[in-house]
A and B are shown apart, each in its own frame.
Chain A
Amino acid sequence: AQSVTQPDIHITVSEGASLELRCNYSYGATPYLFWYVQSPGQGLQLLLKYFSGDTLVQGIKGFEAEFKRSQSSFNLRKPSVHWSDAAEYFCAVVPSGAGSYQLTFGKGTKLSVIP
């Protein structure tokens, strides 16, 4: 069964510092890959997605993610974190091609930002 691992449960960074959130997946073929963000009391907002093509994808709010097939990873990055980025971040995958469209989520990484 496919799975998504986000090894960091909680990360704290200073405002203005760079950020990298890790995501590894386990799946037979390259799935579609997503990062969602959930602010306190809010729903899930899509930050970016990877379906195919350029392995470095740009998203909203200055985020980017790089797909590395050899490492089965899809890490999320931001060069300079803002206080408003404090939220929980979820990596998710769905099988590519025909068939299931169940999103499988990681457990999430909670980001705290120190002013």
Chain B
Amino acid sequence: EPEVTQTPSHQVTQMGQEVILRCVPISNHLYFYWYRQILGQKVEFLVSFYNNEISEKSEIFDDQFSVERPDGSNFTLKIRSTKLEDSAMYFCASSGSRNTEAFFGQGTRLTVV
């Protein structure tokens, strides 16, 4: 069964460092998303990406964040200068169209120290 894969599963970084979280969406999907879940809180939308550009982003997705689809398979989330409050589980998701369900990866747990 096709699945969304994320690497790494856990990343520890020092405050102020740049991190790149990687995702391989399901191969024939066209819509890509990042969500995050701070420990003990709800899952929150960050950004959606379609046709090689951001289609929506939330207030959380400020200038420190960027997304890229560098090739035909990967979808990355970059945090330019990490803060302690960026510590969270980050989920990548993809969907085949707007009107179908999103499939989520296993998540990357980011710990900023």
Given A34-B101, A49-B101, A103-B35, A44 and B48 contact (CB-CB distance below 8 Å): no
Say whether chain B's binding surface is mostly helix, strand, loop, or mixed: strand
Q: How far is the CA of A107 from the CA of B95 in the complex (A)?
A: 23
A101 within 8 A of B: yes
B102 within 8 A of A: yes
B43–A101 touching, CB < 8 Å: no
Q: How far is the CA of A103 from the CA of B104 in the complex (A)?
A: 12
Given A104-B45, A105-B43, A46 and B106 contact (CB-CB distance below 8 Å): no
A45 within 8 A of B: yes
Q: How far is the CA of A42 from the CA of B106 in the complex (A)?
A: 5
Interface residues of A (CB under 8 A from B): 32, 34, 36, 42-46, 49, 51, 90, 92, 98, 100-108
B42–A43 touching, CB < 8 Å: no
A101–B56 touching, CB < 8 Å: yes
Q: Chain B residues near A100 (CB, 8 Å)?
A: 56
Q: How far is the CA of A107 from the CA of B42 in the complex (A)?
A: 5
Task: State which size class the interface on B falls in.
Answer: 20 to 34
B64 within 8 A of A: no
B101–A101 touching, CB < 8 Å: no
B45–A44 touching, CB < 8 Å: no
Closest chain A residue, CB of each to CB of B35: A103
Q: Chain B residues near A44 (CB, 8 Å)?
A: 43, 91, 93, 104
Q: How far is the CA of A106 from the CA of B42 in the complex (A)?
A: 6
A102–B56 touching, CB < 8 Å: yes
B104–A45 touching, CB < 8 Å: yes
Q: Chain A residues near B107 (CB, 8 Å)?
A: 42-43
B103–A46 touching, CB < 8 Å: yes
A101–B31 touching, CB < 8 Å: yes
Q: How far is the CA of A34 from the CA of B93 in the complex (A)?
A: 14
